[in-house]
Amino acid sequence: MEEPTTKSQILTAIQAERLALETLLAKIPPAQMTLPDLHEGWSVKDILAHITAWEELMQGWVQTSLRGETPDRPAPGESWEELDALNENMHQAHKDRPLEEVLQGFHDSHQQVLEMVNGLSEDDLLDPQRFAWRQGDPLWHLVAANTWWHYQEHRETIAAWLKSPAESS
């Protein structure tokens, strides 16, 4: 996709990639969603909890930004250099949650993201100078990284897993 120039294009990108992910997920039986067969022993359920956790972080960053403050990113007390550890901490925090609970959170978070983006102005999303802490990087990049780019990344991981010989037997 080319760089979006409107909020509508951003919403369309989010919804299109989310639909592609959910279409793929619909092909996976619930019992298979909990198998720890993906990268680092994660399951599809773990990936969905991971996506949800990052959507929730992003929503907090945006809310903080709208108050005129600088968000503590990626999370309080965490640094980008420790991203793998942060992802593993998220994994440990959610890995024992029931599938139904993770799926509900996955759907709820997505609806909240859509509401959040709908509530933002085009300037909030597209103006690279709107939030000083972004240092000239428009907010839509942050939204994309935690929605459609993230959905695509993990959709591709799940699709490759589904095509792997171990899963086709």
CB 155 within 8 A of CB 20: yes
Percentage helix, strand, coil, to 5, in the chain?
70, 0, 30
Q: Single out the residue of 148, 141, 164, 159 nearest to residue 51, CA to CA.
A: 148
Judge contact between 34 and 94, C-beta under 8 A. Answer: no
Mean pLDDT of the chain: 94
- Asked whether 140 and 125 are in contact (CB, 8 A), the reply is yes
User: What pLDDT, in 10s, does the model give residues 46-60?
Assistant: 999 999 999 999 999
Question: In the structure encoding, which two tokens stand for residue 150, read together?
Answer: 């993230």
Tens of pLDDT, residues 138-167: 999 999 999 999 999 999 999 999 998 765
The three-point CA angle 150-15-61 to 5° equals 55
Q: What is the pLDDT of residue 77?
A: 80
Distance of CA 17 to the CA centre of its chain: 11
The whole-model pTM stands at 0.93
- Collapsing DSSP to helix, strand or coil, 98 comes out as coil
Hey, what are 142's tokens? Answer: 């942050």
What is the distance between the alpha carbons of residues 106 and 88, in angstroms, rounded to a whole number?
18
The residue-averaged pLDDT of 3-12 equals 96
| CA distances, 163 to each of 5, 26, 41 (Å) | 36, 15, 17
Give the model's confidence band at 169: pLDDT under 50 very low, under 70 low, under 90 confident, else very high. Answer: very low
Fold of domain 7-16+41-163: Four Helix Bundle (Hemerythrin (Met), subunit A) (1.20.120)
